[in-house]
Chain A
Amino acid sequence: MKKTLVLVLSLVLAMSLLMAASAEAGFTEYPIFEDEEVAFLHVNAVYFQAVPMAPGQENFEDYDIHLECDVAALENDLGYGVDDWVPYLTIDFEVIDEATSETAADGTFMVMSASDGPHYGANIKLPNAGTYTVKFTFHSPADNGYLIHSDSETGPGGLLEEYFGDGPLTLEYSGWDYVPLG
């Protein structure tokens, strides 16, 4: 009996040590695309398991993945620091199944912070493996009340309407080979 108990505990301990020993720094994200640029925005898209978000979005049992859009500023005349996260955007997303041309998921990202910083993201249902097109629509921060100093003395030099004058910016990425997370 003692031998059996020792054997069970040894196996559990071995697996626990294995879990701890293989730990490495970082955050497990799955890339969709990297380093796309639109106007003054540098955009990366990743996904990982659906996550709870507080307040009010703790229940994630119905979702397959968390879709994340990381938006940083490129060299710009709007006062954003280069490589800094760009706040006050409203970003609509659409995931289109390339086999059927049907929308598999769509919506508007929420704004949130994870351990790797602030980003735009949403939990979505995407149960089937396939090749998808991801389309992001960036609305002007001005729509959310973001202002730019417009005088030459204190202003950064540019205005949002120079980028959004013709409407929202769009970014489309085709050929995302998606496999649901096991």
Chain B
Amino acid sequence: MLKYLIAVTGSTAVPAVLLGLLCAWIVPAYKRRGTLTICVSAVAATLAALVYTILRNTTKVIDRSGGASMWNVRVFALSAFALIIFYVFSPLAARRKSGGAARALALAAAGVLTLTQTFYAMAQVMMNISKFNLGGEGMLSTAFITRIIGLILGLAIAVVILTAMIQVALRMKPGTVLALLWAVLFVNAFQQVSSALGTLYSKRYISGHGLFQFIKFTTNHSDLFTYVIMAVAFAIPVVLWARSFNVREPYRNPAEHRKIKAKWRSIRRWSTALVCAFVLVVLCLTWFTAIDNRVIELSPVEECEIRDGACYVAMTQVDDGHLHRFAYTTENGVEIRFIIIKKPNSSSYGVGLDACDICGETGYFERGGQVVCKLCDVVMNINTIGFKGGCNPIVVPWSIEEGFIALPIEGLVEYESEFK
């Protein structure tokens, strides 16, 4: 769940801030035309992202047209071009009578910015959905459902940011909103252009040591751009929240007074919602990411008896249905690990090396009653442990002798090279 919450939040938080500010600027400036432009662009971009995701997952069209990274380059280039147009012509948008062409260009640029930002964000979100059932767990599995919950929570945070940003920014002066909008658009464009340069550098279209150092810095600190954008946008709710406690708007009667108080109460609530959403985004990018990236430690190796040319494990030691790990150290000092688990609803045991033919000596761990390969995260069918094939543990000879599971040492040593 965390993985998808983090991924979706990372993809949508910045576009939500941008679109929120864009809406708050365009609606007063263009009224219905502005709203229509944003809505049409956003819906078209979402549908285009859907087409893109379907093509990417079911055909070779996207790959043959340069791959997803080159698509991002095209989107970023279009977005950067639209930003320049927007920067030049948006100050003239307030002149409703004299600036006809300039107003139209600024509106078109805003539409293209909405299109590109929404397309990029939604394509990333939708690509996550295609990974939901990679493990083949099925659509009714807990894993599948928790992934959906993660994605929905991420989208919910984005919707809160978008809505709250519109609500609070609409209370600001249009000039202030435009200045903040420029700031976040340019920071975002800087990050996107550096990402595009990274793709072009990887494909060896461009080169240069200084350029690589720049790309390296911006790539490894990409979250920094999100923080900067949120810090800029953060100013709006903070200013309004503080101002809500010191309202001096004139009123003519108690009804108007109540209306003003209600308005500022609403502003305070939206400001609080926005700040909470920002805090959640920061948590996703820091704490939750750290939790999600935790390295899984294999359970410790347990004691077993080594005698008569075999490793002996008491059956009482492994009859709890959990995964148990043991090891034999060879004359060359190589530790050969093996696992034993009692099969569910059965008196038999699954025995094999703590390694498989595909993933090597990576090992297995227990998660939610299932045995999982640490490297590829494939869930083993516990009943097939002890059988050869796929990512199953490498099969070794074993037998049951007087209450013990015995693994001949010569059968283990045969796989010494698997454990470096």
Contacts and interface: CB of A to CB of B under 8 A. Distances in A.
Contacts of A179: 198-199, 201-202, 215-216, 219
Interface in A1-57: 4, 7-9, 11-12, 15-16, 19-20, 22-28, 30-31, 48-49, 52, 55-57
Contact of B378 (A26, A31, A59, A180): A59
A147 interface: no
A62 interface: yes
Interface residues of A, number: 45
B262 interface: no
A57 B358 contact: yes
A129 B390 CA distance: 33
A182 B51 contact: no
Nearest to B198: A179
B199 to A, nearest CB: 6
A102 interface: no
A23 B61 contact: yes
Contacts of B45: 11
B32 to A, nearest CB: 11
B44 A7 contact: yes
A182 B198 contact: yes
A108 B52 contact: no
Nearest to B62: A19
A59 B65 contact: no
B135 A58 contact: yes
A181 interface: yes
Interface string A43-79: 0000011001001111111100000000000000000
A3 to B, nearest CB: 9
Contacts of A48: 67
B48 A61 contact: no
A82 interface: no
A150 interface: no
A155 interface: no
B48 A59 contact: no
A17 B277 CA distance: 37
Contacts of B135: 58-59
A22 B198 contact: no
Contacts of A130: 216, 220
Contacts of B51: 12, 15-16, 19
A57 B376 contact: yes
Given A15-B52, A57-B376, A130-B216, A20 B61 contact: yes
A153 interface: no
Interface string B235-252: 000000000000000000
B40 interface: yes
Contacts of B44: 7-9, 11-12, 15
A164 B121 CA distance: 51
A128 B220 contact: yes
Contact of A28 (B43, B70, B196, B390): B70
B48 A12 contact: yes
Given A11-B40, A19-B52, A59 B202 contact: no
Interface of A: 4, 7-9, 11-12, 15-16, 19-20, 22-28, 30-31, 48-49, 52, 55-62, 107-108, 110, 115, 128-131, 143, 177-182
Contacts of B184: none
Contacts of A129: 198, 215-216, 219-220
A56 B358 contact: yes
Contacts of B138: none
B119 A15 contact: yes
A136 B79 CA distance: 41
Contacts of B162: none
A30 B136 CA distance: 29
B408 interface: no
Most chain B CB neighbours (cut-off 10 Å) among A4, A12, A128, A131: A12
Contacts of A56: 358, 376, 378, 390-391
A19 B74 CA distance: 11
A57 B40 contact: no
A87 B204 CA distance: 30
Contact of B136 (A4, A22, A25, A58): A58
Contact of A61 (B39, B131, B198, B216): B131
A49 B216 contact: no
What 8 A-B pairs are tightest by C-beta distance, nearest first? A28-B67, A11-B44, A179-B198, A129-B219, A15-B48, A59-B134, A22-B65, A56-B390
B68 A61 contact: no
Contacts of A23: 60-61, 64-65
